[in-house]
Amino acid sequence: MPYTRALLESSPKVSNPSHTRLAAIPGRPPNLADLPRGCAFAPRCAYATERCHHERPVLEPAEETGHLFACFNPLPLRAASPS
């Protein structure tokens, strides 16, 4: 999912040189006690549409067995990159 990919890309990589600046996700995490209308991740998601800000997506089965997702704009599967 777009937000999950952004989280993974923001984590440090052992292969990067020392003091490499980490990728940042703009904004603040959602307040779990007061979730926004629509998708809780929409304010910080680069792929969010108007629908994401007004309607909460429901959990659906992913292509990979045993996994679920809730996103109106799921990204295509791609091979895992070595970290």
Tokens representing 33? 């006690």
Looking at the domain assignment, is residue 42 inside a domain? yes
What residue numbers bound the domain in which 42 lies? 1-6+34-75
CB contact burial 23-32 (16+ within 10 A = b; e otherwise): eebeeeeeee
Count of domains forming the chain: 1
Domain-embedded: residue 51: yes
Asked if residue 69 lies in contact with residue 62, where contact means CB atoms within 8 angstroms, the answer is yes
Q: Are 83 and 63 in contact (CB under 8 A)?
A: no
Q: Is the pLDDT of residue 20 over 60?
A: yes
Confidence of residue 79 (pLDDT cuts 50, 70, 90): low
pLDDT at 80: 52
Residue 71 lies in a domain: yes
- Separation between Cα atoms, residue 2 and residue 46, nearest integer Å: 7
Query: How do residues 44-72 score in pLDDT, each as one tens digit?
Result: 888 899 999 999 999 999 888 888 999 99
- Specify whether the CB–CB gap between 53 and 8 falls below 8 A: no
